[in-house]
Structure 1
Amino acid sequence: MEFSRDMQDQSPRTHRDDEIDLVELLQSLFRQKNLILSVACMVVLAAVAYAFLATPYYQVQSILRPVERGSLDELNGTGVYELTPEEALGRVASSLSSYESRLRFFRDRQELFAGLIQPGRSLEQAFEEFNRTAFSMLQPDPKKTNNLSAFAGISLTYPEGVDGVEVVNALVADVLKEERERIASDLEVLIANRLLSLEKKIEAARASYEAGKEAEIASLLEQDTLRRAELQDELQALRGELKARRESRIKLLDEAIQIAESLGIGKPTTPSAMADAQRQGQVVRTEVNSREIPLYFMGSEALRAERQALSERRSDDFSEPRIAEIEKELALLSHNRQVEVLKQRKNEDLYLKGLAEWRQEAAQLRGIKFDTSTLQLVRLDQLALEPLAAVKPKKTLIIGLGAVAGLVLGVVVALLRNLLHPRTREAP
């Protein structure tokens, strides 16, 4: 019972002690309000000093948009180079984001970055730090499909002392100039390559023509040689045949002469005439023979005369008309006029297929005189302008955060002071 009574007496006392500690804590903080305010004021003063003494940074940007398609018609009309407005914008944006292009601009325009080059640092090191923190590319959000048109841009955050407007505008101008020069160089290379390709085609056509002409001449000469050999063979065979016929005729004449002499036939006669010579009286006889009269009836005199003529003959060519035809053909084959004409051609380019078209194309390529210095690749939608205010430091935000941090720090200091110097309580 006593233990229960003691517990009941202790619980309200503990509750009262807690309430007393919280009240005393608030009272203690209130008593130390000067300390808290002093700490807060010190922090706020430090924030104000940073806000007004820190180097201000400014931000400028330039926006580029595609040009109208008609602006590139003259370039595309060359038939050698094809470029759309979107491709032109992409090329310019790629050059703007290129580390090499920015470093080249940094080297060429060092007077614009004089405040960034510090002792002990190389030019590349100074540019590396500036490029990493200052430049940023501006592009449409790929997740949004309701963009009115494509664009590309570059943003520059720079410290006071750097002419950021001039840096951005000059960088864009230099990149556009480089792209125009690159397009001019590409155009010259493409034209030169096309001309070289046409020259190779013409040379190949000339070589092919020469080879074809030589092959045609060789074929014609080969045909003539073959035909000449065939005619020579035919002529030799005919002459051999005629000689054989003449020798055969002589042998036949020898036999006929021998028979005629044995029969006493000296003059030409017929079988009926010989029979009539042996009969008396006048007889009129009609003789029809379907058989050829033997040769010896020509009589030995006629036969001897023919044999002598055949023996003294030196050539049998006149007896065969085909020999005259062969000799005519051989005479014609001695000169191939088609081969002579082929060999006597002066301007052989006139016979090349496609030469006129290739020369016309080459003349058109050589006639391309395109001035890229006036080529409009992109449309400058927004030039970099002088900023109205610095983007950092944000003075109001820094001072506000300093005030909040100062109050919190002041309270913490007051609490630590209470812990380090606790109030001595009197025993009840």
Structure 2
Amino acid sequence: MFQAIWQQKKIIISTTVLCGLVALGYAYLSTPEYQVSSVLRPAAINELDALNRSGVYTLPPSEALLKVGSSLESYDNRLAFFRDNQSLFSQFKRPGRTLEQSFEDFNRDSLKLILPDPKKADSLSAVIGLELRYPKGVDGVKILNGFVDYAINAEREQIAADLKVIVNNRLAELKGQIDAARSSYEMDKEARIATLIETDNIKRAQLQDELKALRQQLKVGRTDRMAQLSEAIGIARSLNIQKPTTPSALGDSGRTGEASGMRTEINNQQIPLYFMGTDALEAERAALQQRKTDDFTEGRIAQIARELQLLQSNREVEVLKQRQNEDLFLSGVEPLRAEIVRLGNLSNLDSSNMKLVSIDRKALEPMQPIKPKKALVILLGLLLGGMLGVLIVLVRYFVAIRQGAVQITTAPGVVDTWTGTATSGKALPNDKS
């Protein structure tokens, strides 16, 4: 077998050279394919300090990196960048295909995202890589760097939009709380005014009832006094007492001829009213009959009149109704107002300069293509050519041996077509040696 292979070495050499030439042509005539990559790392803590100190949106650097990675992986972002920069992707377009179909091929075969390994907790492994493979004539560096910037800007705009929505929702909530406090204040004020008015009405009614009762009491007392006076007048007339006197003086009035003197009487009993005499009693009764009102006889009536006069107007109610800026009297809203001012200042937060990630390595122009690898292609061509030549020789060898065996059994003395030697004698039908 090896002798046969050596004898047919020209076929092997020819096949090897032919395959080598084909590989050489492929290596130098096929379109080179290049690869560029970009690496992203978490941003420094101070880059996101202003956002995290806002108190409404928390974004650690590691989470910001994952958000940017999600933006880089987003189909919509890739398609939007493809649409916005069609001049950079002219070589990826195919006749008869839509823009989306051309992008599908590019997205599937050319762009690859490398995410950090979740099993590794080491911060050194927290990197995101993006690789782009592209044929010669395509500005892959511009495409990759442009897409990285596009994704970062898209995520930055999304964060700014989320922050704006959160701030607006928080402001609406705070304003709702202030409105609730204002409504509660209005209800409390109305309740306070109603309570004050009701208290004044109750007190006014009580005073008027007391005044009415006092006047009735005074009227009854005057009537009783007049009845007592009338009865005393009758008794005084029957006793012929016209002027005020005392029981002792009345007893001595019948005695005559006695020397005049001064008499002092000590008595702890009340002297009956008729001893005042008819003149005094009639005069008092006449005065009581002519009296129009009894108010001056009771000091409490004057006090009631004073209190009723004060109840005609409630100064506290008037002040409550005349308040202009009622927000000044709201209780518990100072922290809410301070929070509204603070959230309003967040609108001045410049998100355009927010650094979400650190671009550890930008895409650079490659020094050489990754495909085809000329030396490897030529070497494989020569190797496959040699293997093909050996295969051809072996096939011819086995075919020739089979044909030679047939010739030996049928025609003794013919020349061996493979070895070139003559055979003599008859061989056994199945003797292939």
TM range, normalised to the smaller chain?
0.7 to 0.9
1:123-202 correspondence runs (5 A): 123-146=99-122, 148=124, 150-202=126-178
Query: Are residue 327 (structure 1) and residue 327 (structure 2) matched?
Result: no
Q: TM-score when scaled to structure 2?
A: 0.84
State which drifts further: 321-330 or 58-67.
Answer: 58-67
Kept after mapping to 2: 8 A contact 1:140/1:147: no
8 Å Cα contact 1:57-1:391 kept in structure 2: yes
The yes-or-no answer on 1:400 pairing with 2:379 is yes
2:124 partner SS: coil
In the alignment, the residues of structure 1 paired with residue 127 and residue 228 of structure 2 have an alpha-carbon distance, to the nearest angstrom, of 116
Identify the match of residue 346 of structure 1 among 324, 342, 349. 324
Q: 1:60 aligns with which of 32, 36, 39?
A: 36
| Counterpart in the other structure of 2:240 | 264
- What is the CA–CA distance in structure 2 between the aligned matches of 1:256 and 1:144, rounded to whole Å? 122
Q: Is there any run of 5+ residues in structure 2 with no aligned partner, and where?
A: 409-425, 429-433
Partner of 2:78: 102
- For each residue in 1:153-199, what CA deviation from the matched residue of structure 2 results, as whole angstroms up to 9, or x when unmatched? 21111122221111101111222232333344344444444443443
Q: Which moved more, 1:97-106 or 1:154-163?
A: 154-163
- Residue 375 of structure 1 corresponds to which residue in structure 2? 354
Shift of 1:204: 2.8
Q: How many angstroms apart in 1 are the aligned matches of 2:108 and 2:171? A: 45
* Residues 225-304 of structure 1 mapped to structure 2, 5 A cutoff: 225-280=201-256, 281-282=258-259, 286-304=264-282
* Distance in 2 of aligned mates of 1:253 and 1:141: 120
**Which 10-residue stretch deviates more, 263-272 or 96-105?**
263-272
- Picking from 286, 311, 320, the partner of 1:308 is 286
Name the CA shift for 1:352/1:147 in 2 (closer, same or farther; >3 Å). closer
Shift, 1:268, TM fit: 1.5
Residues 335 and 142 of structure 1: is their aligned pair in 2 closer, same or farther, counting only changes over 3 Å?
A: closer
Offset from partner CA, 1:243-296 (integer Å, 9 cap, x none): 111111122222212222222222211211111112343476543322211111
The count of residues paired between Structure 1 and Structure 2 equals 404
Contact 2:34 2:133 in 1 (8 A): yes
Contact 1:75 1:82 in 2 (8 A): yes
Letter in 2 for 1:427: A
Paired amino acid for 1:116: F
Deviation at 1:348, TM superposition (A): 2.1
For residue 218 of structure 1, report the CA deviation from its aligned partner.
0.9
Distance 1:126 1:149 in 2: 34
Native 8 Å contact 2:88 2:139 kept in 1: yes
Partner residue in 2 for 1:222:
198
In structure 2, C-alpha distance between the alignment counterparts of 1:188 and 1:146, rounded to whole Å? 34
Structure 1 position 390 matched with structure 2 position 366? no
Q: Give the aligned partner of residue 92 of structure 1.
A: 68
For 1:27 and 1:73, locate their aligned partners in 2 and report how far apart those are by CA, in whole Å: 81
Normalised by the length of structure 1, the TM-score is: 0.85
Task: Tell me the amino acid that sits aligned with residue 278 of structure 1.
Answer: G
Residue 118 of structure 1 and its aligned partner are, at CA, apart by: 1.0
Is the Cα contact below 8 Å between 2:69 and 2:115 reproduced in 1? no
Whole-angstrom CA distance in 1 between matches of 2:234 and 2:86: 134
In structure 2, how many angstroms separate the alpha carbons of the residues matched to 1:321 and 1:101?
94
Bigger mean CA offset, 412-421 vs 62-71 = 412-421
Q: Distance in 2 between matches of 1:181 and 1:399?
A: 51
Distance 1:40 1:222, change over 3 A: same
* CA–CA separation in structure 1 for the residues paired with 2:53 and 2:32: 50
| CA deviation map 1:332-373 (0-9, x unaligned) | 000111111111222222222355554444444444523333
% identical equivalent positions: 51
Assess if the C-alpha contact under 8 Å between 2:34 and 2:370 holds in 1.
Answer: yes
Distance in 2 separating the partners of 1:252 and 1:231: 31
Matched, 1:211 2:190: no
1:124, distance to aligned residue in structure 2 (A): 0.5
Q: How big is the alpha-carbon RMSD for the aligned residues of Structure 1 and Structure 2?
A: 2.6
Q: Which one-letter code corresponds to 2:312 in the other structure?
A: S
Unaligned residue ranges in structure 1 (runs of 5+): 1-24
SS of structure 1 residue aligned to 2:268: coil
CA distance 1:149–1:403, shift in 2 (3 Å): closer
SS of the residue 1:176 aligns to? helix
Distance 1:146 1:288, change over 3 A: closer
Give deviations 1:218-264, integer Å, cap 9, x for gaps.
Answer: 11101000100111111111111111111111222222122222222
Residue identity opposite 2:201 in structure 1: T
Q: Which residue of 2 aligns with 1:318?
A: 296
In structure 2, distance between residues paired with 1:271 and 1:354: 82
